[in-house]
Structure 1
Amino acid sequence: MSQRIGAISPSATLAVDATAKALKAQGRPVIGFGAGEPDFPTPPHIVQAAIEAAQDPAMHRYSPAAGLPALREAIADHVGRTDQIVLDAAQVLVTNGGKQAVYQAFATLLDPGDEVILPAPYWTSYPEAIRLAGAREVEVLAGADQGYLPTVAQLEAARTERTRAIVLCSPSNPTGAVMSTGLIEQVGRWALEHGLWVISDEIYQHLVYDGTDFTSVLQAVPELAQTTVLLGGVAKTFAMTGWRVGWMIGPADVVKAATNLQSHLTSNVCNVAQRAAIAALTGPIEPIEQMREAFDRRRRTIVEKLSAVPGFEVPTPTGAFYAFPDVRGALGREIRSRRVETSTDLATVILEEAEVAAVPGEAFGAPGHLRFSYALGDAELAEGIDRVIALLSE
């Protein structure tokens, strides 16, 4: 096995989800807070578009590696309409989910020896994709006391002559934090001043709460257009995680190079899924708003309940569908005769003793935390956190 592949760690979030599902299959009443996956079915008009696409013989053949022209146009129009960013379809590459867009962005922009500033807590796949490109991540940790948002001073302290890019993820997975327009502009102008690429993962942009505004980095600093790559997809907003449709938006030459890579890697995304994505981006918004309202309700519930867990500090998330409590106050003790020193220990004990699955902060570059996804039913959510409260109150 190559050293490059042998060094890859499995996705912690998918591993926790798989463990929870395996235990459920054994008959154990496990409640899973691990996967970032809406529990809603994909809206009917999107499914109907897929059915019609499957019956169209043109969709039974290869299509352009960069994506169906109609979908690339729909993505450009959608981003232009929602973020006031003027795009051409040639700047859009349709990928097999947002995760492939992440991988291809790093593979296209980075060389061995490059450094990438990676604000932490971060999504678990970022560092692995950076390393696969031969580069190195430089972590910048912003804790709960900062609302999980880094300062420009912290970013500047991490910058070296090898720094090539910075990764942004707002709204954030795993914290649910949303960067304000002012902070986005500050970071964008700092990147512009130092000639850095900005790789901005905006897949949760439509899931914001409490009157919070989402601002794309290119909306805040249009001058970054030639050194910014935007990543997105239909998975989270439209409950389409299994459909595997994401996108990468950037300068036309960068997108062309990434398309060349994809032509050898996977070729085109499934045509039926692409046609479904067109329906998602151009169809009614009412089902999307209904899901957002449900997430908002669950968000308020989980923050209230997690705040009652002894030793947990719970910043209120204003985006995505994750809560990320600081659990250091619950460490350094015994729980049912088991010594708990790390958040990994705590996640293990909660799973085995309370049958509740959460992801330890070590997976996100933030030891001493747990991630709870609230993209699950209201009743399950309440029961699951009640189990955690009962266990840690003993």
Structure 2
Amino acid sequence: MPDVIPAALQPFSSSRVREMPDNQIVTVADLARHDDSVVRLWIGEGDLPTPAPIRDAAIAALEAGDTRYGYSQGTPDLRQALSDYHRRHWDVEVAPERFCVSIGGMNAVVMAMQAILDEGDEVIMPSPAWPNAKQVVAICGGVNVAVAFDFHDDGAITLDLDALFAAVTERTRAIFINSPSNPTGWRMPLADMRRLRDFCRERGLWIIADEVYNHFVYDGQGPAPSFLQLCEATDRLLVTNTFSKNWCMTGWRAGWVVCPLGMETLFARLCQYNTTGVAPFVQRACQVALETGDEFIAHQIARCQASRDILVQGLEALDNVTVFTPQGTFYLFFKVHGLPGTSLERAVQLLRETKVGVAPGSAFGPEGEDYLRICFAIAPTLAEEALARLVPYLRTLSAVAPSAPR
């Protein structure tokens, strides 16, 4: 793709921005964004509408004229609702003043990085990882240090903590953990969370915990544990989250950061200078989501589990496919043996041959090059349709491809 910045302007533009790679998920999606015949499984977004009580709350707030500047850090009512929500689901007391409402989970990660990084600081990140988090490190002047997950022939994904710790240098500032993980579906064991907490305490490192998918854990095992349960209020811990996934509010652009006690003023400034705050009518809708949305979360989890099981069982039956059954999230990471080309080329080929849109694993870093990702936050009937399109084509490749290790 040609450079998007005209040559005459390049000397005057930020080198950090010029060096950002294209988002390969968008590259695939743009090939068939307006083709209604495509089963779109490329982007991490559920296919249900935002629940009516949440929509109604925003409409009522708009009609009441709640459209002016408000609290930059979030309304007191919303921050109290966030505190109550964490107490209800994780049995943890988090003071309302520790919450900072953000413009989605993306802005939450941006502010977390801005709050702690200086030029040249390193952030260690298990990879493949959400590409946005990696690029935020660079935009903030930091250096991303990838530590690869281990992919096993039996379909398991693990993270070697000793390898993670060995990557620490004198320039390391933070370790970024997304658990459950996009794109792999890996979930950090509780014992490893404790080891990481103790390691970071001893060395004065920050933990940035992206806990967006904590509810999306299956077979009755959820929610996933939170670092907030393991850490003190003054530990070097920043937790980022979003309203997007739990309540199908991706377009509302609202999320939150939990900061240590004593950093509230710093995050209030970051809000003021980044965004001036989230729209007040959106904050009212978010409050209703927290207060009334538990049943909807449970419905989503059950629906995702049904779709996950359909896709896992169908793809596992193919000799030339290795499936990494997710421990959490609503993503399925898999490898097709015998599908030629790069990960991006494979995703494009599947789109053209089957009309199923998937994300290339390389979108999440070079560690994901051999893999593809499916979002299964969809109706089970749509999962069956995707499988009906994928399986016949993938089966044609198996005659010339080596079998996947079993």
Question: What SS is found at the alignment partner of 2:33?
Answer: helix
Q: Distance in 2 between matches of 1:309 and 1:288?
A: 32
1:341 matches 2:353: no
Counterpart-to-counterpart distance in 1, 2:185 and 2:264: 29
Q: Which runs of 5+ in 2 are unaligned?
A: 1-12, 397-406
Partner of 2:400: none
Contact 1:92 1:248 in 2 (8 A): yes
Give the RMSD, CA atoms, in angstroms: 1.8
1:3 alignment partner in structure 2: 15
Query: Which of 66, 73, 78 is equivalent to 1:71?
Result: 78
Q: Does 1:184 align with 2:193?
A: yes
Structure 1 position 114 matched with structure 2 position 114: no
Equivalent in the alignment of 2:228: 218
Q: CA, structure 1 residues 388+125, in 2 after alignment: closer, same or farther (shift >3 Å)?
A: same
Q: What does residue 383 of structure 2 align with?
A: 381
Worse overlay, 270-279 or 260-269 = 260-269
| Map of 2:394 onto structure 1 | 392
Candidates 89, 96, 99, aligned match of 1:89: 96
Residue 159 (str. 1) matches residue 168 (str. 2): yes
Q: Does the C-alpha gap of structure 1 residues 302 and 170 become closer, same or farther in structure 2, counting only changes over 3 Å?
A: same
Any conservation in 1 of the 2:243–2:286 contact (CA below 8 Å)? yes
Instruction: Report if the CA contact (8 A) 1:200-1:229 is conserved.
Output: yes
Summarize the alignment of residues 196-275 of structure 1 with structure 2, pairs less than 5 Å apart. 196-213=205-222, 214-220=224-230, 222-223=231-232, 225-275=234-284
Q: Percent identity?
A: 34
* Counterpart secondary structure, 1:324: strand
Question: CA shift at 1:250, angstroms?
Answer: 0.9
| Match in the other structure for 2:42 | 34
C-alpha displacement of 1:359? 0.8
Query: Which amino acid letter does the alignment assign opposite residue 116 of structure 1?
Result: V
Report the Cα distance in structure 2 between the residues aligned to 1:108 and 1:12, rounded to whole angstroms. Answer: 28
3-state DSSP of counterpart to 1:87: coil
Instruction: Work out which of the residue numbers 304, 328, 333 in structure 2 matches 1:319.
Output: 328
* Letter aligned with residue 363 of structure 1: A
Instruction: Report the CA distance between 1:158 and its aligned residue.
Output: 0.9
Q: Which moved more, 1:100-109 or 1:180-189?
A: 180-189
Match of 1:337 in 2: none
Deviation, structure 1 residue 212: 2.5
Which of 101, 105, 120 lines up with 1:98 in the alignment? 105
Unaligned runs of 5+ in 1: 332-339
TM-score, normalised to structure 1, is: 0.91
Equivalent pair of 1:249/1:255 in contact (CA under 8 Å) = no
Q: Which amino acid aligns with 2:332?
A: A
SS at match of 1:313: strand
Tell me the SS of whatever aligns to 1:23. Answer: coil
The TM-score, its normalising length taken from structure 2, stands at 0.89
Alpha-carbon shift at residue 382 of structure 1 (Å): 1.7
Q: Would you say the 8 A contact 2:215–2:246 is kept in 1?
A: yes
Contact 1:108 1:254 in 2 (8 A): no
Cα distance 1:177–1:148, how it changes in 2: closer, same or farther (>3 A)?
Answer: same
How far did residue 43 of structure 1 move? 1.4
